[in-house]
Amino acid sequence: MLAAGLAACGVVSADSAPVAAPPPALDAAPPAQRGEQTAVFAGGCFWGVESVFEHVKGVRKVWSGYAGGDAATADYEQVSSGRTGHAESVKIVYDPAKVSYGKLLQVFFSVAADPTQLNRQGPDVGPQYRSAIFYANDEQKRIATAYIAQLDQAHVFRAPIATQVVPLQAFYMAEAYHQDFARLHPDSPYIVINDAPKVRHLKELFPSDYRPEESVVGVQIH
């Protein structure tokens, strides 16, 4: 299974200079009471996106999985065909009192993915590697849409943002060998070349939001 998993993502250096996106002008208000909230993002191979958010303070759990398609096709082999409608995605459960939805978006656009690439990330080509924000409610939609407009108007990136903002219908957890892959396989060539630089960029750009390595992967989807 591990050999099959290694074919999930191409190998490309991510150690180029990251783009430091500014904070969102519109963000969620501090919560009135304690509780957890959920965000679902897609940005190419889910190993790298998962690895980044495992190191963000306020994030409690992260899973790799599939979003955008049906339950019947939510498995790696079918998703890899690019014909299921799914995108490799991550589900993030976070404490909104410690990290806002807007901050998660800022991290996503700055270090987790290249939002200007359409239906690909680096060498990984196909709609299953598209960049997408799957919003769970109207507030997330409003914040994500406003933030993309803000970044485009400021010409933060070299090209217009291609990230989709679409409603979350369902999230399906990926196979066990994909979960927490970067932490469990730090010497994997893919992780060393492609994902470790993203985590370094997170630490460099967001030192107050960075936490050292630890597993925050849950065993169940809540």
Q: Which residues are known catalytic residues?
A: 45
Rg for the chain, CA atoms, rounded? 16
Query: Is 159 in contact with 125 (CB distance < 8 Å)?
Result: no
Pick from 97, 105, 8, 33: nearest CA to 60: 97
Sheet strands (E) in 12-170? 37-43, 59-67, 87-94, 120-121, 124-125, 131-135, 164-167
Pairing of strands 124-125, 120-121: antiparallel
- C-alpha dist (Å) from residue 80 to 69, 127, 199: 12, 9, 25
